[in-house]
Amino acid sequence: MGNPADDIAAMPVERAIERLRAIYRGWTRDTTVAQMRRDWDAAFAGCLAPVSCRHVSAGGVDGEWIEPADTPRDKAILYFHGGGFRIGSVESHRDLIARIAVASGCRVLAINYRLAPEHRFPAALDDALTAYRHLRDQGLRPADIAFAGDSAGGNLVLGTMLAARDRGVPLPAAGALMSPWTDLAATGASYETRAAADPVHQRGMILALAKTYLGRDGDPRDPLASPLYADLDGLPPLLVQAGDRETVRDDATGLAAKAKAAGVEVELQIWNGMIHVFQMFPQIPQAAEALASLADFLRKHLHIGHRKASQ
């Protein structure tokens, strides 16, 4: 017999899975990309965290400042949303980003980078680099900027760092990655070992998203598209979080191992029983725990003190 406590603990995760499946069930071969994007944004729209949101053009890239009250003006997190480079936006991720902002006590610039298939690689990467330059042009030092992102956004955290390093641009203080998609060739063993446990992300779907992003002749092992294949030397400290149930788990574990071998300071957290980007679901207790850990990491590397409970 199963442990009743385990069954109760799993209930919020199962509700999150059903929420995801309800979205995917509504899509057919005839559903347009535009409709998928609208459905995804609508499913995750809303924000209960105490923040202000202000639209901004970040060097020509559409973005939004998401700011708790009384955050330092000389610090910022640059956030890249997930969605397989095909869907997702600041709107769909606003609540997650706001919870990160509140927990870390730091304002966040989130951007709507260009999406495939209209804009293939490296359009999203170019937009991420432009947003990073925008922050520096506003007078922020690289040491006072951290990157954060989930899934495809985690890919952009790494790709932006790598491209900046290769161009001689000073790197940010740190990077926080949630379920990062680092291998567009989908070679990890977890695509097989976690296939039954992952409710959504199967290898065929991942490869289709990769092809949409890269184009017919794109190389899934290009280091700037798939950071798992990059030389990671010189990157700033990284925090990598992933769920044990997700097929892309080895994208996280492989990246962390390679970063550590390259001398990068890296912390890997694998969360038992958790799904892809479980942090998006506040009803899952482990989501709050993971974001608290992520916020501690960001505060440490941005040198932001803990906020008083009254703030």
Once rounded to an integer, what is the mean pLDDT over residues 29-46?
A: 96
pLDDT at 200: 84
Query: Mean per-residue pLDDT for 64-88?
Result: 97
With a pLDDT cut of 70, the percent of the chain lying above it is 95
pTM of the model: 0.95
Give the model confidence (pLDDT) of 250-277 as tens digits: 999 999 999 999 999 999 999 999 999 9
The verdict on residue 257 lying in a domain is: yes
pLDDT digits (tens, 9 = 90+) for 272-292: 999 999 999 999 999 999 999
Q: What confidence category does residue 9 fall into, taking pLDDT thresholds of 50, 70 and 90?
A: low
- At 243 the pLDDT is 97
In a domain, 203, yes or no: yes
pLDDT score of 2 more than 70:
no
CATH of the domain at 219: 3.40.50.1820
The residue-averaged pLDDT of 7-31 equals 87
In a domain, 73, yes or no: yes
118 inside domain = yes
User: How many domains are contained in the chain?
Assistant: 1
For the chain, what is the mean pLDDT? 94
Q: Which long-range contacts (CB under 8 A, 24 or more apart) does 2-10 make?
A: 9/273, 9/285, 10/273
Just list the catalytic residues: 151
Asked if the model's pLDDT at residue 53 lies above 60, the reply is: yes
Q: Is residue 12 part of a domain?
A: no
Q: Could you report the per-residue pLDDT of 125-170, keeping only the tens digit for each?
A: 999 999 999 999 999 999 999 999 999 999 999 999 999 999 999 9
Question: Is residue 123 situated within a structural domain?
Answer: yes
Reported confidence tier of residue 300, pLDDT bands at 50, 70, 90: very high
On whether residue 15 sits in a domain, the answer given is: no
Q: Is the pLDDT of residue 311 over 80?
A: no
DSSP 3-state of 178: strand
Q: What is the mean pLDDT of residues 59-83?
A: 97
Give me the half-sphere count of Cα atoms (radius 13 Å) on the Cβ side of residue 24.
10
In 3D, which of 146, 161, 177, 170 has the Cα closest to residue 304?
146
**Of 266 and 4, the one with more pLDDT:** 266
In angstroms, rounded to a whole number, what is the distance separating the alpha carbons of residues 264 and 234?
7
Instruction: Tell me whether residue 188 is in a domain.
Output: yes
Q: Residue 169 is part of which domain span?
A: 31-302
